[in-house]
Structure 1
Amino acid sequence: MKVLRSILLALGLLAALAGCASLGPPFQPLASVPSGKAVVYFYRPSSFVGSAVSFTVNAGELPIISLSNGGYFPYIAAPGRISFWAKTEAESFVIIDVEPGLEYYLKGTVGMGILVGRPKLEQVPAAMGRLEILDCKLIPFR
């Protein structure tokens, strides 16, 4: 029983490390945002809970990025009401009335699920987002 537990723990750690290996450089705010647009930073602080689970963040019906543990991604958004959502066995969504020239921070986390972790998206105040995102690394666009 202890051997099986050790093997499962080792596999979990390898999966978590493999997810980290595909991330890019540490957080850098965008130098400029196109006129009339806003930036929405999606980020997911590193956490052991759900570390092997990634989930796709969508804007309406458009998939944007697979948000992995310890990663962030800047999304250039047009003004207007946008529904951002993610889904595994459960769905989480946030609606933002995007205004040009502003920056928004959407924090992603993973909670316990029955078969797979459940994504959670929440809009956080810019001051909090600017601090928490500092430990995240860029998720390359694919």
Structure 2
Amino acid sequence: MMSEESWYSTIIREAAEGVSATDAVNAVMPGGMAVAGAVKAAADAAVGLGAVGSWSFDREEIEAIIADWKELAEQLREDRATFSQAETASYAPSNDEPSNRFVKSLQDGLAAIEKSNKSMQEYVDGFIEKLEEAKRSIGRTDDENANALGSANVNEV
């Protein structure tokens, strides 16, 4: 697993130099987990440093990346269901003040985890949308290039 500093540095380098999409996704998903807030901070830092670059994709690579992010989205949905079940199953063993206070703090904590999970789900779903749009764009560009080459070959004959 990458340390926070190393993957943060990787994001900034990628923004400046442009790297493959697989490397970029691996940098933001150490151990299979999305680190949304830190990724945004790294991207903001790269922009603040005036870094300009791009990630390169090909069809097979972007399809694999989309599958990874969809798997992460499914894991987040499963986690959210688990949090909801835990919150529903939390009750005080007795009706005294310390027990009620403990259960209240437990439920508050679970609600905060659920809120964080929802935020991560929204981020991941948005990123998947952007990747799918990039995939469609790659397909259109490939089709346009193929058509242009086909037209050039017909005109040469």
Flag whether TM exceeds 0.5 (same fold): no
TM-score, structure 2 length as denominator? 0.21
Specify which structure has the higher proportion of helix: 2
TM-score, structure 1 length as denominator? 0.23
